[in-house]
Amino acid sequence: MQTPQTEVSGDLYVSDGVFVPEAPDREIETISARGAYAVPLMVDSAVAQRPDFQHGIYDLVSGNSATFALVRRTVSEPQIRQMLIVDPDDLMAEYIDGHLEVWQGEATRPAGEDLIDSAARAMWVGTWEDAGRGLQQHLMPDGRYSETRGGRANAYTGRYWVRERRITYLDDSGFWAFGELLDDTLHHAGFVMTRK
């Protein structure tokens, strides 16, 4: 899915964390993803927050950040735009800025490891709220999260990982989800959260 609405077949090439038009002139690692869908990791609310000229930065095209998921099932445009939720068996891989975050449905590092850095802790840890939709998301310093929805504590719980301004969630009930922090606003699955 080169864009949420454009499906093409072909290879993706990544060098230094960005998509490039052809294979780099050096030894490369090749991942066979035959039958999988490469999909942009985006949420419409984050796209809408950006200026018009930046709306295409999520597309899987040369020059853009290599931030995408490889999913072993078809993925619809609304799922990409609003709420990409993936079963661990279906998530072949997730890349953030060219860094492998998830491989074969498993995280590539322990939850909380990325929060050892004080800047990352300051950026992410705390309570995030979408008051209009009755959501509070509590990101703890040990890499765990819990969500209060409609006043119900621990409606969802799980682990999370961060890299730069991206967050990846693995819910205890068994699904992966994704988000982006943009101008102190956390966008995730249609929710628009600010720090409480």
Percent of the chain with pLDDT over 90: 85
- Report the C-alpha gap between 102 and 53 in whole angstroms: 30
Q: What is the pLDDT of residue 190?
A: 87
Please tell me the pTM assigned to this model. Answer: 0.93
Q: What is the pLDDT of residue 86?
A: 96
pLDDT tens for 150-186 read 999 999 999 999 999 999 999 999 999 999 999 999 9
pLDDT tens for 23-53 read 877 777 778 888 899 999 998 999 999 999 9
CA distances (Å), origin 128, targets 31, 52, 125: 36, 26, 9
pLDDT tens for 137-151 read 999 999 999 999 999
CA angle 132, 185, 129 (to 5 degrees): 35
pLDDT tens for 58-88 read 999 999 999 999 999 999 999 999 889 999 9
Does 111 score more than 90 pLDDT? Answer: yes
